[in-house]
Amino acid sequence: YSYYNENTILYYNGEFLKATEAKIDLYGQSLHYGYAVFEGIRAYKTASGEVKIFKAKEHFDRFKRSCELIHMPYDFNNEELIAACYKVLELNNMTEAYIRPLAICPPNMTLKAADETHVLICAWEWGAYLGEKLLRVMLSSYQRPNPKAFKIESKAAGLYVNSILASQEAKSKGYDEALLLDIEGFVAEGPGANLFYEKDGTIYTPAKGNILPGITRATVIEICQELGIPLVEKQISVDELYEADCVFYCGTAAEVVGWDSFNDKGFAKPWAQSLGKVIQQAYKAKVLEKEFDRAAIPA
Ligand code: PMP
């Protein structure tokens, strides 16, 4: 599967170019050391028929913060970058797409502070990244990176080798996805998604500090507030997860996706009757700008 073909157009440093004609420098430290920052954003064809990028401002605010956290100069205007995203969608005739901004530094092998940042924006059609079915998740042998070794709230490219290793391990053992703990042994997140679980009518999620504070996570918190579902952010142990009524992952690419099992152990509630399912439907409604009627969900 290729994310582009000979007709694909991308944005690079203020220009719209054919993907097959764009070039990067093979001597750049972004490539050699993973010193780059990315975002993952989704555009939806909303109920009115209009194409809308979900939480574009929040994603570009994080893009800027991610760059600043690792000292990549950021002198872009986010409104212009958002307009460039819409233009990329239009030039590629896309209505539902995954949008990938990437900030890279030109050659700078001396490792002094970066002096220039370049921005790429490309888009591709991407279905649910973890699939539509419930996930069989295993506890990873990898931990999330040490917050004292890295700016873990930066979506820096190099950090994602950790995510790749954890997903590869899970898939090689026949699971769909991994769960990683933080360096203190508490539940952190998936390789590319935040975690929530339901227990006795309350929704729980790991507190900030050892996780990427996802934009979908913030949306799920908003949904809980709107629907009057009690929500608690706290440190979560592995044992609490085994005792959960339901567990789900959420992220821009994954959206809201329920778990089938954790280390082969199922959960107390069938997904169809869980609060996770209610939140999943409410999330879909929100991104599509549709009315959400909680009464339509089985109790
Ligand atoms: N955690 C990690 C490690 C991620 O890579 C992502 C995806 N960006 C998330 C959580 C979810 O973040 P968001 O909802 O902003 O996509």
Q: Annotated catalytic, 269?
A: no
In this prediction the pTM is: 0.96
At residue 284, the pLDDT reads: 96
Q: HSE on the CB side for 88, CA within 13 Å?
A: 34
Q: Residue of the nearest CA to atom 4 in ligand 1?
A: 192
Q: 206 in ligand 1 pocket by Cβ < 6 Å? A: no
Q: What is the pLDDT of residue 298?
A: 60
Neighbouring-strand partners of residue 29: none
Q: Is 276 in the pocket of ligand 1 (CB under 6 A)?
A: no
Nearest Cα to Cα of residue 123 among 106, 99, 143, 102: 99
Find the catalytic residue in 55, 64, 155, 277: 155
Compute, in angstroms, the gap from residue 263 CA to the centroid of ligand 1: 22
Determine the atom of ligand 1 nearest the C-alpha atom of 216.
14
Residue of 252, 279, 283 best suited for mutating to test ligand 1, as the one with most atoms within 8 Å of CB: 252
Q: Which atom of ligand 1 is nearest to the CA of 194?
A: 10
Backbone angles phi, psi at 224, to 5 degrees: -60, -40
CATH fold of the domain at 135-296: D-amino Acid Aminotransferase; Chain A, domain 2 (3.20.10)
Cα distance between residue 231 and residue 85, in whole Å? 34
Helix and strand element counts for the chain (H, E) = 7, 15
Q: Which ranges of the chain have pLDDT less than 50?
A: none
Instruction: State the pLDDT at residue 129.
Output: 66
Which residue is closest in CA terms to ligand 1's atom 5?
192
**DSSP H or E run through 59:** helix 56-69
What is the 33 CA–ligand 1 centroid distance (Å)? Answer: 21
| pLDDT value, residue 110 | 65
The pLDDT score that the predictor gives to residue 28 is 87
Look at strands 118-124 and 135-143 and give their pairing.
Answer: unpaired
pLDDT at 132: 73
Domain 135-296 in the same topology as domain 9-124: no
Q: State which ligand 1 atom lies nearest to the alpha carbon of 212.
A: 1
CATH for 9-124 (3.30.470.10, 2.60.40.10, 3.40.5.10, 3.40.50.720):
3.30.470.10
Amino acid at 116: E
Ligand 1 midpoint to CA 192 (Å):
5
Q: Is the ipTM of this complex over 0.85?
A: yes
CA separation (Å) from 269 to 88, 244, 299? 43, 9, 12
Does 258 sit in the ligand 1 pocket, CB within 6 Å?
no
From residue 207, alpha-carbon distances to 155, 195, 213, 294 in Å are 18, 10, 9, 27
What digits encode the pLDDT tens for the residues 70-126?
999 999 999 999 999 999 999 999 999 999 999 999 876 666 667 789 999 999 998
Domain ranges of the chain: 9-124, 135-296
